[in-house]
């Protein structure tokens, strides 16, 4: 698998793009503002979108993607996979014929270009040679992380989360975990806000990393713009024995 990081910032600013990762050429994990940097041919190849949750920084690009790939004579629809609560939010607040056209009824309701598939914790969705497994995580709204497995190994993305009891047993069950992309949004000095909003800090993250029995590459994502250097410094000081790096737009991960 080839994972291309399109966006990994917790906000916007010069050069910052929010959460989106392109798996091979046809699957997105999250659809934040990062997808706007893709070329037209790359956008047209996307047919599957896995959403971790309904917050805007993870779904902002989805309406424009649906508009771009829409074709009345399509061969393969665009399918969005997420928790029922996330899909309901997307339908009610984005594709509602007010904010954006309801592409789940176009070109005709009986055969729409945009389709939704509920993906609950514990579900596996197989797309080609890749198995996407949904993991419950602890955020301020119902959320998922995902592990993605193929013959070469597995990579995992936490989505937005704080300390939880569900992600780590799943990661430990992945004997061939190669890459872990995990969020840490706020520095330790903002621990109260992080806890209230459902995010890791360097301390809470590194405390949880002690539960991990594997030694994958660990990539940090979701940092608030302007806080990246401070967060990375705090993480590396707290876990000097771990292979931890900061994700950046354009990073290519291979499994």
Span 201-210, pLDDT tens digits:
999 999 999 9
Q: Is the pTM above the cut of 0.95?
A: yes
pLDDT of residue 15: 87
pLDDT of residue 118: 98
Cβ atoms of residues 60 and 95 within 8 Å = no
Whole-number Å distance between alpha carbons of 161 and 168 = 12
Residue burial 183-213, b: 16+ Cβ < 10 Å; e: rest = bbbbbeebbeebeeebbbbbbbbbebbeebe
Cβ atoms of residues 133 and 73 within 8 Å = no
| DSSP run (H or E) holding 157 | strand 153-157
pLDDT of residue 14: 82
Residue 97: how many CB atoms within 10 A of its CB?
Answer: 8
Whole-number Å distance between alpha carbons of 91 and 93 = 6
Domain extents in the chain: 2-254
Positions in the chain short of pLDDT 70 = none
Whole-number Å distance between alpha carbons of 31 and 108 = 25
Residue from 75, 84, 72, 69 nearest 28 by CA: 69
Structure tokens at 218: 């660990």
CATH for the stretch 2-254? 3.60.15.10
**pLDDT, tens only, 123-159:** 999 999 999 999 999 999 999 999 999 999 999 999 9
pLDDT of residue 40: 97
Residue from 136, 129, 122 nearest 154 by CA: 129
């Amino acid at each position: 698998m080839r994972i291309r990081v399109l966006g990994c910032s917790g906000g916007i600013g010069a050069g910052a793009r929010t959460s989106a990762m392109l798996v091979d050429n046809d699957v997105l994990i999250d659809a934040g503002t990062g997808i706007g940097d893709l070329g037209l041919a790359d956008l047209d190849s996307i047919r599957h979108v896995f959403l971790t949750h309904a917050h805007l920084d993870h779904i902002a690009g989805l309406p424009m993607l649906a508009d771009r790939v829409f074709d009345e004579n399509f061969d393969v629809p665009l399918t969005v996979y997420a928790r029922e609560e996330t899909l309901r939010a997307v339908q009610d607040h984005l594709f509602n014929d007010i904010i954006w056209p309801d592409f789940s009824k176009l070109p005709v309701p009986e055969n729409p270009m945009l389709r939704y598939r509920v993906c609950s914790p514990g579900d596996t969705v197989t797309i080609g040679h890749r198995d996407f497994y949904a993991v419950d995580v602890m955020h301020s709204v119902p959320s998922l992380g995902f592990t993605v497995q193929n013959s070469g190994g597995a990579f995992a993305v936490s989505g937005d989360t704080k300390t939880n009891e569900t992600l780590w047993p799943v990661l430990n069950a992945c004997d061939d975990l190669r890459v872990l992309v995990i969020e840490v949004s706020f520095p330790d000095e903002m621990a109260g806000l992080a806890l209230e909003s459902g995010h890791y800090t360097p301390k809470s993250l590194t405390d949880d990393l002690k539960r991990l029995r594997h030694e994958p590459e660990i990539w940090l994502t979701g940092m608030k713009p302007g806080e990246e250097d401070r967060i990375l410094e705090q993480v590396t000081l707290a876990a000097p024995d771990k292979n931890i790096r900061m994700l950046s737009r354009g990073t290519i991960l291979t499994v």
